[in-house]
Structure formats: C-alpha cells, structure tokens
C-alpha cells in the first residue's frame, strides 16, 4: 500500500538488470509483494466501514508516508523533479492502481468472499490483453495455459463465487470485484510501459486521487479509532511497499505473469482471516492455492526452455 526496493534499483537512474538475473529479481519482488498485500482483505474486514471512508484513511496515510520518504531521501527539489518526470503512462498506472484499491474495498464490503475471489482472479487475463494491446507482447502457449490454470485455481478457491454473483444483492459487489481485477491488470501493464518514471511518485499520484474521492464522497471522520487504524496501517506501510514491489517486478517480468503470482493473495488472505477471525477456509481454498502456485511454476518453466 517504504521498502528496500528503491535502494535496489527503483529509481529512474538505476536501469534494470538484464537476462536471467533480472527475471529472478522480478519474480522475487512479485512474491514479496503478494506477501505484503495478503492482509488487505483482513484489514478491510476489521475496519467494518464504508468503502470510500476506508479509502480516504488508507490513501491519505499512503500519500503521507510516500511524501515523507521521498523528501527525506531526495529533498524537496529531488522530489519535485521525480514528480515532473511522470509521463502519461505513469499517471495512468497510478490512477488505475487507485481505482483497483477502491474497487477492492467496495467488493469486500458488498460481496461475499467467494464472489470477490472469483472475479478478482481475472486480473492476469486483463493484464495479458492490455500487454498485447499496449505493448505488443505476445504470450506463449505455456504462459497462456498457466494464466488460465491460475484463474481456474482462484475460481476453485472461491467456489460458489460465480453463483453468488448472480444474486441481486451481490450484483454491485461482483461488478466492483471484476473492476478491481481489470484495473490491477491494466495498472501493471502501464507501469511496465512507463519507463523511467519513479514508482513512488506514480503511487503518490494514485493515492492523491483516491484520497480526494474518499474525502469528498465518503465520511472518514465518522470512523472510530479502532476502525481507521487498520486502513492507516495498510495504507501507510504495506501498500507503498507492495506497490514498489509491483513496479520493480513489472519492469523485469511480463505483466500477465506478475498478475498471475498475485493470485496467491487470495489463499494467503484466507489463511490470515482464519488465523485472526477464526473463519476456517474450506478444502477449495487450499486446493485453489495449490493450483495457483503450480501455475506460477508452470509459467516459469517456459522461460527456462527459452534460456
């Protein structure tokens, strides 16, 4: 939702490594990012507040943390220079990231876990489509089959989600969950396209958009301390770290593959909810998580054949 990733090459002045080493670093960053973002659903559940109010606290904390980090590291002039270096792709990536976060919170509030998981799992397909359209990246048969397998695994983990989405009471939540997956996939592709743009400046822009929307349309002042503490913790610490991991990975690994790895958020999040709220995940969540992990390994074998 600041991390050592910036010191490892997230600044525009440090070009990404090449070859197998670059890919390995990108995959490690993606796995680190999914570990950091996995408490997201748990924190939304603990906040028990409207989506826009949670968004205001979350993005406000994230924006504050990012600006303080950048000012401490680069100074006022250096920080302003990094914001001036943002191009249209960077702005689009930040905006799509903010839209994905807002949609995810809305989906978690309006839909059941099965619906949220099943439709959020479409993000790799959106990323693959956006990569083909915007970057001209074609997927091998192995990678395409891995993405479809990963989506199927997430569907299994959220078994019943598609059926639940057909209920009238679930319609808005289902739409929000689908939008969250689409925005995330497009966001990763935009970050891959925004060469030279500073990732934290990108996220700060997206956080500013989310903060303004939450403040204008929500009621963050009505949240009690035991409610707003959760979005503040996630937005101020975990979200910026996750975003930096995604940006680092997106420059070294195809965006569809990064989105595939992030499908692990669903089973990991379910385990956290089980540990904290005692909501035991069913066999489908465990099986779905294993399928997703297998899909990520299957996708990685494609690169090994090419090397």
pLDDT at position 56 is 93
- pLDDT bin (cut points 50, 70, 90) of residue 1 is very low
pLDDT at position 137 over 50: yes
More confident residue, 206 or 298: 206
pLDDT band at 17 (very low <50, low <70, confident <90, very high): very low
Structure-token match 């397998």, residue found: 149
The top-scoring range by mean pLDDT among 26-30, 41-45, 123-127, 144-148 is 26-30
* Residue-level pLDDT at 283: 66
Rounded Cα distance between 125 and 260, Å, is 9
Q: How confident is the model at residue 155 (pLDDT cuts 50, 70, 90)?
A: low
pLDDT for position 58: 93
For tokens 């959020």, the residue is 120
pLDDT digits (tens, 9 = 90+) for 63-101: 999 999 999 999 999 999 999 989 999 999 889 988 998
For the residues 278-301, what does the mean pLDDT come to?
Answer: 66
The yes-or-no verdict on residue 151 having pLDDT over 60 is yes
Q: In the prediction, which pLDDT does 2 show?
A: 39
Helix, strand, or coil (residue 239):
helix
Cα–Cα distances in angstroms (integers) from residue 43 to residues 137, 167, 234, in the given order: 35, 26, 7
Give the C-alpha distances (Å, rounded to integers) separating 48 from 116, 117, 128, 226, 246. 16, 19, 34, 10, 27
Tens of pLDDT, residues 204-254: 998 999 899 899 988 999 999 999 999 999 999 998 888 888 888 877 887
Rounded distance between C-alpha atoms, residue 34 and residue 14, angstroms: 24
The 10 Å CB-count burial string (b at 16+, else e) for 59-83 is bbbbbbbbbebbeeebeeeebeebb
Are 11 and 244 spatial neighbours (Cβ–Cβ below 8 Å)?
A: no
pLDDT for 57 equals: 95
pLDDT of residue 11: 37
Q: Is the pLDDT of residue 184 over 90?
A: no
> Quick one: which H or E segment has residue 256?
helix 255-261
Residue 157 — very low, low, confident or very high, per pLDDT cuts 50/70/90? low
Question: Are the C-beta atoms of residues 183 and 175 closer than 8 Å to each other?
Answer: no
Exposed (0-12), middle (13-18) or buried (19+): which is 33, by Cβ within 10 Å?
buried
């Amino acid at each position: 939702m600041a991390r050592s990733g910036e010191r490892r090459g997230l600044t525009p002045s440090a070009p990404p490594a090449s070859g197998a080493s670059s890919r390995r670093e990108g995959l490690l960053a993606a796995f680190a990012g999914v570990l950091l973002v996995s408490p997201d659903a748990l924190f939304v559940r603990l906040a028990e507040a409207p989506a826009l109010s949670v968004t205001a606290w979350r993005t406000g904390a994230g924006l504050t943390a990012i600006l303080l980090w950048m000012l401490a590291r680069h100074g006022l002039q250096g920080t302003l220079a990094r914001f001036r270096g943002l191009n249209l792709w960077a702005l689009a990536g930040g905006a799509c990231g903010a839209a994905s976060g807002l949609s995810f919170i809305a989906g978690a509030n309006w839909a059941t876990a099965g619906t949220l998981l099943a439709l959020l799992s479409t993000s790799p397909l959106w990323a693959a489509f956006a990569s083909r359209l915007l970057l001209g990246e074609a997927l091998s048969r192995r990678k395409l089959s891995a993405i479809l397998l990963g989506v199927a695994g997430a569907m299994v983990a959220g078994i019943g989600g598609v059926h639940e989405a057909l209920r009238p009471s679930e319609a808005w939540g289902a739409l929000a969950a689908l939008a969250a997956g689409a925005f995330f996939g497009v966001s990763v592709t935009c970050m891959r396209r925004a060469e030279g743009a500073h990732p934290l400046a990108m996220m700060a822009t997206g956080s500013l958009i989310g903060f303004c929307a939450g403040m204008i349309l929500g009621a963050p002042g009505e949240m009690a301390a035991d409610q707003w503490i959760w979005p503040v913790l996630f937005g101020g610490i975990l979200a910026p770290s996750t975003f930096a991991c995604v940006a680092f990975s997106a420059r070294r690994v195809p965006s569809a593959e990064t989105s595939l790895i992030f499908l692990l958020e669903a089973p990991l999040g379910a385990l956290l909810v089980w540990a904290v709220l005692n909501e035991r995940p069913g066999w489908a969540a465990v099986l779905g998580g294993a399928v997703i992990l297998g899909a990520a390994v299957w996708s990685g074998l494609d690169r090994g054949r090419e090397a």
